[in-house]
Copies of this chain bind each other. A is one copy, B any other.
Amino acid sequence: MDLVGEGARLLYVGKTAGYHSRTQEEIHELLLSFAEAGANVVRLKGGDPLVFGRGGEEMDFLQQQGIRVEVIPGITSASGIAAELGIPLTHRSVATSVRFLTGHSRNGGTDPLYVAGNAADPDTTLVVYMGLSTLPSLAPKLMNHGLPPDTPAVAVERGTTPQQRTVFALLKDLVDEVKSADLVSPTLIIIGKVVALSPFWAESSEHDMLKTENSYATEAR
């Protein structure tokens, strides 16, 4: 934000407690009205606008109104959190692919409809965005489709912020561990063998071997 020019007008449209959150349609209209008034409009978003960021919708809307749009890529949560925890999302001979899913159910319910059997691939790292509420149905579904119950996993609340909290667990224990740690949104979930490559995984396993009743919730840094 230090780079913002003095003459710029700043308008907050994000979702923080205490602020009235604007709908996507209101954001579209705001962008359009400023652009039509001749302004250079910067829509600043966290993460990458084209990965679960609704940047495509804003781009689409504005282009249909004849507004020229340029998209600057960003660091998506998966990359930021992987770097923070030292998890190589694709590690030679461990994972040949990485897949970013949305945990939002298509019908707004608790069933992650998008999870076909094809998501349960032991050679693919799964990263679930916004998946806290659908995790209780996702985890058993993945195991029913063949993902080993002892697949390493981690849930990360407010990743890459000073308030980051992480819960490392085997897939079969993840739902319970996340519940006892009381994680809240936004939480990103990473499931796959690569999670065990994090230096923090070893620490969490020591906790396990000591048979503490606590979850593996740890403060980052």
Contact = CB atoms under 8 A, between A and B. Distances in A.
A126 to B, nearest CB: 9
Interface residues of A, number: 50
A179 interface: no
A154 to B, nearest CB: 14
Copies held by the complex: 2
Given A59-B86, A60-B197, A79 B48 contact: yes
Given A90-B52, A92-B57, A102-B97, A123 B117 contact: no
Contacts of A199: 63
Interface-centre pick from A54, A59, A73, A119 (highest chain B CB count, 10 A):
A73
A144 B209 CA distance: 47
Interface string A180-200: 000000000000001001010
Contacts of A90: 50-52, 56, 100, 102
Interface string A72-94: 11111001101110111111100
Interface string A99-130: 11110001000000010111101011000000
Nearest to A129: B90
A55 to B, nearest CB: 6
A97 B98 contact: no
B118 A56 contact: no
B101 A97 contact: yes
Contacts of A220: none
B92 A50 contact: no
